[in-house]
Amino acid sequence: MAVFELKNCLGIAGVMLFSYLLGSISFAVLVGKLFLKDDVRKYGSHNAGMTNVLRTAGKKAAVLTAVGDLGKGMLSVVVGRLVFAHILHAEPMYGAYLAAYCAILGHIFPIYFHFKGGKGVLTSAGAAVLIDPVSVAITALIFAAVTFTSKIVSLGSVVMAICYPVVTYFVSLAFGRDPVPLTVCAVIFAAIIIFMHRSNIGRLIRGEELGFGKKKKREPADEQKRS
């Protein structure tokens, strides 16, 4: 594929724009307004993510948020693959990863909601499950084990992110694929998740991170930030 041909430039830009705008749909904010009649970012951790929705709006709202966040990651990958394969005649995997990164960027910095979004875990998972389902299944088990043992979602997310590139490398070898491209892309996924959890990591080190078994009160937005 000649990247700088007009058709290819437009195709790549279209995938990036579509995926970013799709990722910018904050289901946490929309579902929060449906259940709370208010912005979920005013409460709890002030984060536009499923965990904060669970704490402040309940299980039904959290499930809807999770489905939406997973779905937009998956849809972005489907569109990226289709455009690269059938319009640009390029390697579909490149389109999948490009679309995934742009959807995650939209989730974290949503243009519709003043660029204040979530941390990208479920959107990343939705994208990754279509790109490399075996690696995602293994790391999901790691996430579940860590989260239900510690009762701290952020700890499970960080451990999962750390393990994901390692798992991707060995799964690629097991299936006879070149492990380098997928592992490099997995490292980028992991780096985004870990970076977005930097404040959580600080609280984990200090022993101050809130477990999912403990509910926070619906307090106004000037309370100390947690997630």
Q: What is the pLDDT of residue 216?
A: 52
State the Cα–Cα distance between residues 59 and 194, nearest whole angstrom.
25
Q: What is the pLDDT of residue 25?
A: 97
> For 221, phi and psi rounded to 5 degrees?
-75, 0
Q: What is the pLDDT of residue 45?
A: 83
- Nearest-CA neighbor of 185 among 172, 176, 195, 175? 172
Look at the alpha carbons of 131, 97, 159, 27 in this order and tell me if their dihedral is positive or negative. Answer: negative
- Tens-binned pLDDT, residue by residue, of the chain (227 aa): 555 688 888 999 999 999 999 999 999 999 999 999 999 999 988 899 998 999 899 999 999 999 999 999 999 999 999 999 988 888 899 999 999 999 999 999 999 999 999 999 999 999 999 999 999 999 999 999 999 999 998 999 999 999 999 999 999 999 999 999 889 999 999 999 999 999 999 999 998 887 765 555 555 444 444 43
Look at the alpha carbons of 92, 169, 174, 181 in this order and tell me if their dihedral is positive or negative. Answer: positive
Inter-CA distances, 97 with 130, 172, 217, 219, Å: 10, 16, 38, 38
Q: What share of the chain is helix, strand, coil (3-state, %, to 5)?
A: 75, 0, 25
Q: What is the pLDDT of residue 2?
A: 57
End-to-end Cα, the chain, rounded Å:
43
